[in-house]
């Protein structure tokens, strides 16, 4: 599943939602989060819980497909320890 269609997953969408809800003076920004992973398994384990679109995808795969996915992810990520950054959209408005 692609996350872009989910609420607030693309630039400007929170502002649209806030405006549709009747909020004014809406301001939107992005927030960066950086996480250091000591091992690949530390990064991989949360996907096995089935939370969110990526976790749901991982949970829906058969064991062999999941093993291949895991191996591909391990190949693509830097050698541990490694740090990854991500961004989230944030907004505020007046009621």
Q: Is 40 exposed, middle or buried (0-12, 13-18, 19+ CB in 10 A)?
A: middle
Predicted local confidence at residue 70, as pLDDT:
97
DSSP string over 10-79: STTHHHHHHHHTT-EEEEEEEEEEEEEESSHHHHHGGGGGT-HHHHHHHHHS-HHHHHHHHHHHHHHSPS
What is the end-to-end Cα distance of the chain in Å, rounded?
A: 33
Q: How large is the average pLDDT for residues 69-90?
A: 95
pLDDT digits (tens, 9 = 90+) for 3-49: 667 777 888 999 999 999 999 999 999 999 999 999 999 999 999 99
| pLDDT value of residue 6 | 75
CA gap 69, 61 in Å, rounded = 9
């Amino acid at each position: 599943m692609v996350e872009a269609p989910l609420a607030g997953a693309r630039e400007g969408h929170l502002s649209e939602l806030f405006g549709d809800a009747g909020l004014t003076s809406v301001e939107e920004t992005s927030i960066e989060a950086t996480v250091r992973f000591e091992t690949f398994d530390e990064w991989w384990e949360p996907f096995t819980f089935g939370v969110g679109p990526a976790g749901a995808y991982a949970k829906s795969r058969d064991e062999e497909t999941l093993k291949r996915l895991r191996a591909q992810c391990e190949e693509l990520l830097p050698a541990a320890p490694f740090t990854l950054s991500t961004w989230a959209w944030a907004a505020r408005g007046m009621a």
